[in-house]
Structure 1
Amino acid sequence: MLIIKSHQEFAEYAGKELGVSNWHTITQEQINMFSDATLDHQWIHTDTERAKTESPFKATIAHGYLTLSLIPYLWKQVIDIQNLKMEINYGIESLRFAQPVIVNSEVRLRVTLKTILNLRGVTKATITAELEIKDEKKSAFTGDTVFLYHFID
């Protein structure tokens, strides 16, 4: 795991891959909990019997936004940013969902520090995030996520 304690340390990785998280299995329980939290109960996600017969995937699939919501959890497996007053999720840019994640698939996050800026003492880091699916050629998504870090002086 990469440990970062300042803007200067972080900036040394601009343009470089930061690492890859552990594999995480997307279970039906997790999909159902996400459905309840977001009020999105579309059958393709929650009805396992119907999905077996009517879905082109022959199983339920994770919500795209569920896979996206894993970024903070998986990101923390790649990097430990210390010495912070505050960390803010600032935005997502040019995100593309490329492939559905079928229930019980394993996914992991591959991250690169695309750009890093010092905005009057606030670090703006743009991270290219790719959610890989085990044994699949295409990723679930690729996009740039933006974080703001307020390091302690």
Structure 2
Amino acid sequence: MIKVSSFEEFAKYTGQEFGVSDYMKISQEQINQFADATLDHQWIHVDVERAKKESPFNSTIAHGYLTLSILPHLWDEIMEVDNVQSMINYGIENLRFQEPVLVGDEVRLRVKLKSCRNLRGVVKTEMDASLEIKGKKKNAYDATIVFLYYFK
């Protein structure tokens, strides 16, 4: 795990990979809870029997936004940012869902620092993030995630 506590420490990683999280298994319970939280109960996510018969994947799949919502958890396995008053999820750019995440798949996050700028005391980071699916060639998604860090 990499640890940083200032803009200068962050900036020295520009253009470099920060690392890769551990794998996380996606369960049907997680998918169902996400469906309940977001009111998105499309059958391809929550109806196991119908998905086995009618889905081109022969399985239920995780919501794309569920796979995005685990990004902060997986990010915390890669990077520890100390001396921070707050961190804001500022945006996601160039997001492309490329491969569905099936129930039971294991995913992990790979992150590279694209840019790091000091905006009058607020550190804006742009990171290339890929959610990899164990055993598959295509990533679940690739995107540029943007965080704002307010260091003390």
TM-score normalised over the length of structure 1: 0.99
Give the distance between the partners of 1:80 and 1:133, measured in 2 at CA.
24
Q: Which runs of 4+ in 1 moved over 2 A?
A: none
CA offsets 1:45-104 (integer angstroms, 9 cap, x no match): 000000000001000000000001111000000000000011100001000000000000
SS in 1 for 2:68: helix
SS in 1 for 2:56: coil
Aligned residue for 1:95?
A: 95
Give the distance between the partners of 1:50 and 1:114, measured in 2 at CA.
42
Q: Note the aligned Cα RMSD (angstroms).
A: 0.4
Give the distance between the partners of 2:117 and 2:95, measured in 1 at CA.
21
SS in 1 for 2:110: strand
CA positional deviation for 1:37: 0.3
Aligned residue for 1:36?
A: 36
Aligned residue for 2:149?
A: 149
Aligned residue for 1:86?
A: 86
Give the distance between the partners of 1:75 and 1:4, measured in 2 at CA.
13
Aligned residue for 2:140?
A: 140
Aligned residue for 2:18?
A: 18
CA positional deviation for 1:39: 0.1
SS in 1 for 2:22: coil
Give the distance between the partners of 2:26 and 2:129, measured in 1 at CA.
18
One-letter identity of the residue aligned with 2:103: V
One-letter identity of the residue aligned with 1:20: V
Give the distance between the partners of 1:86 and 1:51, measured in 2 at CA.
41
User: 1:109-120 alignment to 2 at 5 Å?
Assistant: 109-120=109-120
Aligned residue for 1:27?
A: 27
CA positional deviation for 1:119: 0.2
Aligned residue for 1:129?
A: 129
CA offsets 1:6-62 (integer angstroms, 9 cap, x no match): 110000000100000000000000000000000000000000000000001000000
One-letter identity of the residue aligned with 1:30: Q
Give the distance between the partners of 1:32 and 1:56, measured in 2 at CA.
20
SS in 2 for 1:49: helix
Gaps of 5+ in 1: none
Identity of aligned pairs, percent? 59
TM-score normalised over the length of structure 2: 0.99
